[in-house]
Structure 1
């Protein structure tokens, strides 16, 4: 099969990045299975296993898709249906009340449900990008992994519950002094900041962590930070919003909107099995499962079927970016 993956930014990503890593892992796995990949992506991109073309935002997408392509996987929202079979992958939360293409694919059941849609595929990580697995090594702190300046990720809450439970916290995704999205200076001495990190620097923090602190106050669409942390054996302590209850079972973490309940969990000796956390990712959230699911959807659109019964539409919730954390 000849598959074209379309995204506006440059690949590969060498540090922090979400969608770029997903499309890289997906393309690589599809090539392993004998398919041909064309990336239509941002200027300056390169790839040693696929054909690379430069995406032009001002040009009709239909004019940019090569003739030999069988199916198009979009990470750029189409203005109208494409001439070739296609699907559009929605990775983020969306504009309230707006309708989306009928072939929109979401990244969790909750994400799809909140848009009156059925089609979703969990993001899957590639184990090749997470070397040095050590499930029995010494763990000495908890970690926070997200864009710390984004208030919905709730770094403030993560700092509070680790301080009150007398636990150290290492933050990947932000700095002690922040000006980008409102002034923030963190004075807590139990917190260490690593800035925006990817690759081995990030992996090394996860490898030595007792668990991920993820008290988001919005409907999390998916959260690669959750699964890459679990891959290294980290249980997850967060809020029960969005996709988290689908990913984090009682075996691999604890979810609550109550600060006191989370503090109690962090204060007690941890009883979670790092191997079970790792196995859940390998069973449910690896690039293998993601690719299997997308191949099934490719076949569906190539056979002329729509992926949803109606055009998805965001269910408006005025509190969705300020959910309770009490």
Structure 2
């Protein structure tokens, strides 16, 4: 099978990345399974296991699909009729009611359900690209992982949690102590340090020293690669019960609450969680092979003339509040 993977990004990922990291792992796994993959992505991209075509922003996507492609995997919204069978992975959130494509795939069960759909594939990663976690090494801090300038990620809440503990420390991966984009946020606590936007070995080294991820998001998280990457490195999750989190984080690998005091108490008991269980759970469930197998099933449906949804997915309920509850 020849699969064209389309995304408005540059590959491989340079820093943290989200969709870029997922499509890279997916393509690599598909190639290892014997399929042919071509990327249609932004200029500056390169790949040693798949052909790379550069998106021409002046032309419709349909005009750029090679004739020998069997199925198109869009990670962007289609801009017209596709000349080949296709699916559309929807990675984000919208807060207005509009019909999505009948061949839409969401990234978690909760994500799909919020749009009246049952079509989803969990994100997986190629864990061979990550170092083997040091599960028995000393760990001395917790971490926040995400774009700290994005208010729904709630870095302020993560700082609140850590300062409510007696002496725990927090490293913010994805932000700076002074942030003008958040209306001049200045964090003074000496128990909080900032690593900026990190990726690659720098990021994984920091995760190796962490006792857990503090992830108090204030939106319905579609999936959350920060969760699976942290778990893989043996870090339990302390977050809010929104979006995909109850689906991904069961009681043996984390604690969920929208109450900062309850989360602080759970953080102080982080040693009760098994690092090995966190690691093995993620390695077994959220890997690129399982993701690729699930997508191959979706490809077969559309190649046989079927649709992934009986009706157009559509947001079931518009969220009236700007941020979900945080106490």
Distance change in 2, residues 1:321/1:275 (3 Å):
farther
Is the contact made by 1:218 and 1:320 (CA closer than 8 Å) also made in structure 2? no
Residue aligning to 1:106: 106
What's the TM-score, normalizing by structure 1?
0.97
Does 2:279 correspond to 1:283? no
Match of 1:311 in 2: 312
Aligned to 1:136: 136
SS in 1 for 2:25: helix
- Kept in 1, the 8 Å contact 2:212–2:237? The answer is yes
Which residue is 2:194 aligned to?
193
Count of aligned residue pairs for this structure pair: 326
Cross-structure match for 1:67: 67
Q: Which stretch shows the higher mean deviation, 113-122 or 269-278?
A: 269-278
**Structure 2 equivalent of residue 322 of structure 1:** 323
Per the normalisation by structure 2, the TM-score is: 0.97
Deviation by residue 1:219-278 (Cα, 9 ceiling, x = unmatched)? 000000000000001000000000000100000000011122111112236211111101
Distance (Å, rounded) in 2 between the aligned partners of 1:312 and 1:249: 28
1:115 alignment partner in structure 2: 115
Give the Cα separation in 2 of the matches to 1:290 and 1:77: 20
Over aligned residues, Cα RMSD in angstroms? 1.2
Separation of aligned partners in 2, 1:258 and 1:52 = 46
Q: Which runs of 4+ in 1 moved over 3 A?
A: none
1:88-237 to structure 2, matched below 5 A, reads 88-165=88-165, 166-237=167-238
How far is the alpha carbon of 1:288 from its aligned partner? 1.2
After superposing the two structures, state which structure 1 stretch, 60-69 or 77-86, moved more.
77-86
The structure-2 alpha-carbon separation of the partners of 1:269 and 1:227, relative to structure 1 and needing over 3 Å to count, comes to: closer
Is the contact made by 2:62 and 2:80 (CA closer than 8 Å) also made in structure 1?
A: no
In 2: Cα distance, 1:312 partner to 1:81 partner: 18
Aligned equivalents of 1:10, 1:182: Cα separation in 2: 30
Whole-angstrom distance in 1 between the partners of 2:321 and 2:77: 22
Unpaired runs of at least 5, structure 1 = none
Deviation (angstroms), 1:38: 0.6
CA distance in 1, matches of 2:233, 2:10: 28
